[in-house]
Protein backbone atom coordinates (compact mmCIF):
# COMPACT_ATOMS: atom_id res chain seq x y z
CA UNK A 1 0.00 0.00 0.00
CA UNK A 2 1.39 3.41 -0.93
CA UNK A 3 1.72 6.21 1.57
CA UNK A 4 -1.18 8.13 0.02
CA UNK A 5 -3.44 5.04 0.13
CA UNK A 6 -2.54 4.52 3.78
CA UNK A 7 -3.30 8.16 4.60
CA UNK A 8 -6.61 7.97 2.73
CA UNK A 9 -7.54 4.82 4.69
CA UNK A 10 -6.78 6.57 8.00
CA UNK A 11 -8.74 9.66 7.02
CA UNK A 12 -11.66 7.53 5.84
CA UNK A 13 -11.72 5.75 9.20
CA UNK A 14 -12.16 9.18 10.79
CA UNK A 15 -14.90 10.07 8.31
CA UNK A 16 -16.72 6.82 9.13
CA UNK A 17 -16.53 7.36 12.89
CA UNK A 18 -17.88 10.87 12.37
CA UNK A 19 -20.68 9.47 10.19
CA UNK A 20 -21.48 7.04 13.04
CA UNK A 21 -21.38 9.89 15.53
CA UNK A 22 -23.49 12.24 13.39
CA UNK A 23 -26.11 9.55 12.76
CA UNK A 24 -26.17 8.50 16.41
CA UNK A 25 -26.74 12.03 17.64
CA UNK A 26 -29.39 12.62 14.97
CA UNK A 27 -31.27 9.54 16.18
CA UNK A 28 -30.91 10.69 19.77
CA UNK A 29 -32.15 14.18 18.83
CA UNK A 30 -35.17 12.79 16.97
CA UNK A 31 -36.27 10.57 19.82
CA UNK A 32 -35.43 12.68 22.87
CA UNK A 33 -37.97 14.86 24.67
CA UNK A 34 -35.33 16.64 26.76
CA UNK A 35 -34.76 20.09 25.20
CA UNK A 36 -31.34 20.52 26.82
CA UNK A 37 -30.15 17.18 25.47
CA UNK A 38 -31.68 17.87 22.05
CA UNK A 39 -29.60 21.07 21.82
CA UNK A 40 -26.44 19.20 22.77
CA UNK A 41 -27.17 16.31 20.41
CA UNK A 42 -27.76 18.75 17.56
CA UNK A 43 -24.51 20.56 18.33
CA UNK A 44 -22.47 17.36 18.30
CA UNK A 45 -24.15 16.05 15.16
CA UNK A 46 -23.34 19.30 13.34
CA UNK A 47 -19.78 19.17 14.69
CA UNK A 48 -19.26 15.77 13.08
CA UNK A 49 -20.83 16.99 9.83
CA UNK A 50 -18.20 19.77 9.68
CA UNK A 51 -15.42 17.28 10.42
CA UNK A 52 -16.64 15.00 7.63
CA UNK A 53 -16.36 17.87 5.14
CA UNK A 54 -12.85 18.81 6.33
CA UNK A 55 -11.65 15.22 6.28
CA UNK A 56 -13.25 14.61 2.89
CA UNK A 57 -11.30 17.51 1.39
CA UNK A 58 -8.12 16.06 2.87
CA UNK A 59 -8.90 12.64 1.36
CA UNK A 60 -9.40 14.24 -2.04
CA UNK A 61 -6.11 16.15 -1.72
CA UNK A 62 -4.38 12.76 -1.37
CA UNK A 63 -6.13 11.45 -4.48
CA UNK A 64 -8.72 9.36 -2.64
CA UNK A 65 -12.48 9.11 -2.53
CA UNK A 66 -14.06 10.09 0.81
CA UNK A 67 -16.05 7.42 2.64
CA UNK A 68 -19.77 8.10 2.47
CA UNK A 69 -21.18 5.67 4.99
CA UNK A 70 -21.01 4.58 8.58
CA UNK A 71 -18.80 1.73 9.72
CA UNK A 72 -21.72 -0.70 9.48
CA UNK A 73 -19.80 -3.62 10.91
CA UNK A 74 -17.82 -1.64 13.47
CA UNK A 75 -18.10 -1.45 17.23
CA UNK A 76 -18.67 2.29 16.99
CA UNK A 77 -21.75 1.84 14.85
CA UNK A 78 -23.15 -0.72 17.28
CA UNK A 79 -22.46 1.64 20.21
CA UNK A 80 -24.41 4.42 18.50
CA UNK A 81 -27.25 2.10 17.59
CA UNK A 82 -27.61 1.31 21.31
CA UNK A 83 -28.94 4.86 21.61
CA UNK A 84 -32.15 3.78 19.90
CA UNK A 85 -32.68 1.09 22.52
CA UNK A 86 -31.74 3.48 25.31
CA UNK A 87 -34.26 6.03 24.09
CA UNK A 88 -37.09 3.52 24.32
CA UNK A 89 -36.49 3.38 28.07
CA UNK A 90 -36.58 7.19 28.10
CA UNK A 91 -33.97 7.23 30.85
CA UNK A 92 -31.67 10.24 30.66
CA UNK A 93 -28.83 8.31 32.26
CA UNK A 94 -29.20 5.35 29.88
CA UNK A 95 -29.26 7.62 26.82
CA UNK A 96 -26.17 9.48 28.01
CA UNK A 97 -24.37 6.22 28.79
CA UNK A 98 -25.03 5.07 25.21
CA UNK A 99 -23.75 8.39 23.87
CA UNK A 100 -20.65 8.03 26.02
CA UNK A 101 -19.94 4.58 24.55
CA UNK A 102 -20.17 6.09 21.08
CA UNK A 103 -17.85 8.92 22.10
CA UNK A 104 -15.41 6.33 23.52
CA UNK A 105 -15.25 4.74 20.08
CA UNK A 106 -14.68 8.12 18.40
CA UNK A 107 -11.92 9.09 20.84
CA UNK A 108 -10.26 5.70 20.32
CA UNK A 109 -10.33 6.02 16.53
CA UNK A 110 -8.72 9.47 16.66
CA UNK A 111 -6.07 8.24 19.08
CA UNK A 112 -5.24 5.30 16.82
CA UNK A 113 -4.80 7.58 13.80
CA UNK A 114 -2.66 10.04 15.75
CA UNK A 115 -0.47 7.23 17.12
CA UNK A 116 0.43 6.29 13.56
CA UNK A 117 0.76 9.82 12.26
CA UNK A 118 4.32 9.63 10.90
CA UNK A 119 2.98 9.69 7.31
CA UNK A 120 0.75 12.72 7.88
CA UNK A 121 1.91 16.26 7.19
CA UNK A 122 1.95 18.79 10.03
CA UNK A 123 -1.13 20.63 8.77
CA UNK A 124 -3.17 17.44 8.69
CA UNK A 125 -1.89 16.42 12.14
CA UNK A 126 -3.06 19.81 13.40
CA UNK A 127 -6.55 19.35 11.95
CA UNK A 128 -6.89 15.84 13.34
CA UNK A 129 -5.54 16.89 16.74
CA UNK A 130 -8.02 19.78 16.96
CA UNK A 131 -10.91 17.49 16.05
CA UNK A 132 -9.71 14.91 18.55
CA UNK A 133 -9.59 17.48 21.35
CA UNK A 134 -13.11 18.67 20.54
CA UNK A 135 -14.44 15.11 20.56
CA UNK A 136 -12.68 14.43 23.88
CA UNK A 137 -14.37 17.55 25.30
CA UNK A 138 -17.71 16.29 24.02
CA UNK A 139 -17.02 12.91 25.62
CA UNK A 140 -16.22 14.56 28.93
CA UNK A 141 -19.36 16.70 28.74
CA UNK A 142 -21.56 13.66 28.03
CA UNK A 143 -19.85 11.72 30.84
CA UNK A 144 -20.40 14.57 33.32
CA UNK A 145 -24.06 14.76 32.37
CA UNK A 146 -24.40 10.98 32.70
CA UNK A 147 -22.73 11.04 36.13
CA UNK A 148 -25.09 13.78 37.33
CA UNK A 149 -28.24 12.06 36.01
- Residue 107: pLDDT above 90? yes
pLDDT tens figures, 48-100: 999 999 999 999 999 999 998 766 555 565 566 566 566 566 678 888 888 89
Q: Is 91 left (phi over 0), alpha (psi -120 to 50) or beta?
A: beta
Which of 5-9, 33-37, 79-83 bottoms out in mean pLDDT, i.e. has the lowest? 79-83
Spatial distance between the Cα atoms of 83 and 44, rounded to a whole number of angstroms: 14
Mean pLDDT of the chain: 88
Q: Which CATH architecture has domain 3-148?
A: Up-down Bundle (1.20)
Amino acid sequence: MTTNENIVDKLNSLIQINEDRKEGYQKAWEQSDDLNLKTLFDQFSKQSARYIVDLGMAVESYGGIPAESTSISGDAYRAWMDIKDALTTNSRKTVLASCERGEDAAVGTYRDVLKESQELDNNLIGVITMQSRDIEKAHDQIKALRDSA
